[in-house]
Every structure is written in C-alpha cells, then in structure tokens.
Amino acid sequence: MSDFVFSPPPLASLSVRGSRARFPVRRIYCVGRNYSDHIREMGGDPDREIPFFFQKPTDSIVENGSRIPYPLFTSDFQHEVELLIAIGKEGADIRLDEALDHVFGVGVCIDLTRRDVQVEARKTGRPWEIGKSFDESAPCSELVPVTSAEFPESGAIELRVNDQTRQHGDLRQMIWSSAEVIQQLSTQYRLMPGDLIMTGTPAGVGPLTPGDRVLATIEGIGSLEIEIVQEER
C-alpha cells in the first residue's frame, strides 16, 4: 500500500435502511430549476428547457440529526428540499426506458444555498458554485433501496422550519422526471455506482437563522432533520 504525506480524508458515505453496509459516495450532481413554481419565485421562465447540472463536493454531506453551523460569507442562507437519487449501476447515454434500472435507492436531501452569493455571481456572469458548493451544504437522509418498479414518481415533498411549513409540493410536479434527469445527465457524464443526484426543489425556499430546527420529508421515503447553530469562529 502506498504511503501518503498525510492521512487521506475519510470516504463520504450514507447509511442504508435495513443494512449495516453503507453507500460510498463518489460524486454529488444537482439539477437546477426542476419545479416550475420555484422557477417563477426566482424570477425565471418555467419553459421546459434542457436541464442543467452543477456539483457539490462529497465532503459537504452531513447526515440526519446534524447541527450545521451558519456558514461563512453569507447573510442569506436558504433551504431547498429535494428528492435524492443514489446510482448503483454504471452507464453513459442511458436509454430513457432503462434509466431507473440504474438506481440503487432514494432519500431526502436539502440543497443548502448561500443565496446572496449565488445571485451576485449570476448577475455578473460568474460561476455560482460558491453559492452552492460549500462546507456542510448537503444534508442527506438514509437511503431506501428501490427497484425500478418501486421508484416513487409521486408523493408529497415538504420542508418545515420550527414546525412551520415553508415548502410543500409533490414529486409529480417535477418538470423533468427522475428517469429523464438520469437520462440527460448520462449524456454529459458516465454515471457510476456511488453517484448521488439532487433532483430540484419546489417553491417556498427561504432563509435560515441560528436556532432554526428544520424537518424535510418525502411521502413514502422518509425524513431528514437538522438544526442551524451559531458557531464561534
């Protein structure tokens, strides 16, 4: 075994319902603007254009029950609840009718966003990765293994902050279905076991502050709880 100049970071992974084995994470892909009501609230045009993707680092994953420090470099820290897809089978240029065969499981996730930073980058034509891809920006629940026949095409998706509903929608409102997202993404990247896909958020995104308790749920899949805290720098 090769030596390293320092100990390599631990491999990011997620727990799997009903199993002691964990799901090792390779990459995190995110879909932008996949619910028409969210596109409208952000001032965009909800016409069905080809979906676009961005990525988060794997070490931004935090698991259920985590306390997440309010991040650096923002005064508008926001939540976006999303369906999480875990890929379990390699593929590129995947056929639409075979896309769900590449799924290992599903879960609940929150795409945490430094909205002010993202918006400013977008206005100036710069990449807005800095608004999305920062420390602890990808809370994820455990994964629920599913077959293609069991894949959830509908179901309520909701996020509550301090017991008040902020986001509420249904998976059937996605502009691009999960199968279409997988198919489109596979034309740009070879998908591999260990890849995660965040599939977009419904309307109602909004700010978080220290002390907020956040509960994200998707009907028939599960839930994810986090707390936002003020960390001394």
Say which residues have a Cβ less than 8 Å from residue 150's Cβ, sequence separation at least 6.
none
Q: Give pLDDT, residue 42.
A: 60
pLDDT band at 36 (very low <50, low <70, confident <90, very high): confident
Closest CA to 25 of 87, 99, 101, 110: 87
Q: What is the pLDDT of residue 210?
A: 98
Rounded Cα–Cα distance for residues 161 and 168 (Å): 12
Q: Which residue has the higher pLDDT, 231 or 44?
A: 231
118 phi/psi in degrees, rounded to 5: -60, -45
Q: Which percentage of the chain shows pLDDT scores above 90? A: 87
Please check the confidence at residue 39 and state whether its pLDDT lies above 70.
no
Q: Are the C-beta atoms of residues 31 and 197 closer than 8 Å to each other?
A: yes
Instruction: Write out the two tokens for 88.
Output: 């379990």
Mean pLDDT of 5-29: 97
d(CA 198, CA 190) in angstroms, rounded, equals: 17
Are 140 and 14 in contact by the 8 Å Cβ rule? The answer is: yes
In sequence order, what are the beta bridge partners of 15?
Answer: 22
Residue whose structure tokens are 């994964």: 143
Contact status, residue 107 vs residue 144, Cβ threshold 8 Å: yes
- Does 23 have pLDDT greater than 70? yes
Which residue in 70, 94, 51 sits closest to 190, CA to CA?
94
The mean pLDDT value for 162-191 works out to: 96
Residue 205 vs residues 111, 113, 135: alpha-carbon distances, Å: 10, 10, 20
- How far apart, in Å, are the Cα atoms of 90 and each of 3, 52, 101? 30, 21, 10
* pLDDT band for position 13 (cuts 50, 70, 90): very high
User: What CATH code is assigned to 13-229?
Assistant: 3.90.850.10
**Distance separating alpha carbons of residues 118 and 115, to the nearest angstrom:** 5
Distance CA 192, CA 114 (A): 29
Label the pairing between strands 13-15 and 27-32: unpaired
For the chain, which residues make up each domain, given as ranges? 13-229
Rounded to two decimals, the pTM is 0.95
Nearest CA to 26 out of 11, 37, 36 is that of 11
What value does the mean pLDDT take over residues 60-88?
98
Residue 1 pLDDT > 60: no
pLDDT in tens, 103-128: 999 999 999 999 999 999 989 999 88
